[in-house]
Amino acid sequence: MKEKRMLHLGICPGDVGRYVFLPGSPERTEKIAKYFENPKEIAFHREFRTWTGTLDGVPVAVTSTGVGGPSTSIAMEELFQCGADTMMRVGSCASVSPKVRQGDICIPTGAVRMEGVGCHYLPMEFPAVPSLQMVKALEEAAIEKGFPYDTGVTITKASFFTQSAPETKPIGPELIWRWESYVKGGATNTSMECAPLFLIGASLGIRTSCVMVSATNCKEYDGQGESQPLKNLEDRAIQVAIEGMRKIIQQDLQK
C-alpha cells in the first residue's frame, strides 16, 4: 500500500510526532531544530520546511508556515493528518501598546479576528483562544528564563501594510478606527497567524498556543536604548517555546 504523502508539506503520517513548533519563516526552523536531540531535515517544499528530532527522548517536529492564515491552515491540516495534536507558533510580533517593549515575550490569551481564514472554520461569534494548559506552561517558561513578558490579546491582521500604513489605503479611516478600538480594548501586539491558529485548533479538537518576541516598540513609547534587529531577539521566543513544550510533554507523560 502506498504511503500517503501530504500535497504541500511533502511528509507522510508517522514522519512527525504529536508535538510541533510552527514558525513562519523557513530559516527559523533550523534555529529551533538546534535545540532538538538528533535534528534532521525531512522536507522543504514552497514555504513549508520540516525538521524532526526529540526533546527529552520524545518525538517533536518544527514546520514553517509562511506568512498569514491561508498557508498556516494548510500546514496545520496536513500536520494533523500526520498525527500532530499539539501545535505551538513561535514567531515575532509588533507592539501596539506601551505595555510591550521591543524584546518582550508575548503569550496571547486571545486574538482579535481581523482576518478571514478563521471564518471558514468557525462563525465570528466564536472566540479565538489558545489552550490554557499551554499558555500556563509558556508563562512559567518565560518567568524561569527571566524575560519580561505580556499575556493578553493579540491582533491578527490579514494584511501587513494596511496596519503599517493604513492612511495610504482607500479604506484608511475605517482601518485606523478599528486599530484604535482594538488598542483601547486592551490589545498589546499584532501579528498575522494567531487567530486562525487558535480557531483551526478548536475545529480540529487539538491544543494550540503561541509565543512571540516583540520586534518593535509602540509608537507612543519614547524610552531610551538602541533598537535591536529581530535576529538578536528571536532566540528569546525560541527558548521559551522549547521550555514550554518540555513542560507540556512532561505533564502528558505523567497522565
Triad 220, 223, 228: Cα angle to 5°: 100
In a domain, 3, yes or no: no
What pLDDT was estimated at residue 231? 72
Identify the domain containing residue 180 by its residue range: 19-216+232-253
Alpha carbon 211 to chain centroid distance?
6
In a domain, 211, yes or no: yes
- The residues, ordered by sequence, that sit 6+ positions from 91 with a Cβ below 8 Å of its Cβ are 23, 24, 28, 191, 193, 210, 212, 237
* 121 CB-contact burial (10 Å; exposed 0-12 / middle 13-18 / buried 19+): middle
What pLDDT was estimated at residue 1? 40
What pLDDT was estimated at residue 185? 97
What pLDDT was estimated at residue 223? 52
Triad 69, 210, 72: Cα angle to 5°: 20
In a domain, 8, yes or no: no
- The residues, ordered by sequence, that sit 6+ positions from 136 with a Cβ below 8 Å of its Cβ are none
Q: Give the predicted TM-score (pTM) of the model.
A: 0.95
Query: Domains in the chain: how many in total?
Result: 1
In a domain, 14, yes or no: no
Cell numbers 480540529 correspond to: 204
Q: Are 72 and 196 in contact (CB under 8 A)?
A: yes
Question: Can you give the CATH number for the domain in which 156 is found?
Answer: 3.40.50.1580
- Measured distance CA(24)–CA(211) in Å, rounded: 12
In a domain, 2, yes or no: no
pLDDT in tens, the chain (255 residues): 457 899 999 999 999 999 999 999 999 999 999 999 999 999 999 999 999 999 999 999 999 999 999 999 999 999 999 999 999 999 999 999 999 999 999 999 999 999 999 999 999 999 999 999 999 999 999 999 999 999 999 999 999 999 889 999 999 999 999 999 999 999 999 999 999 999 999 999 999 999 999 999 997 655 544 567 767 799 999 999 999 999 999 999 998
In a domain, 12, yes or no: no
- Measured distance CA(130)–CA(111) in Å, rounded: 9
In a domain, 179, yes or no: yes
In a domain, 35, yes or no: yes
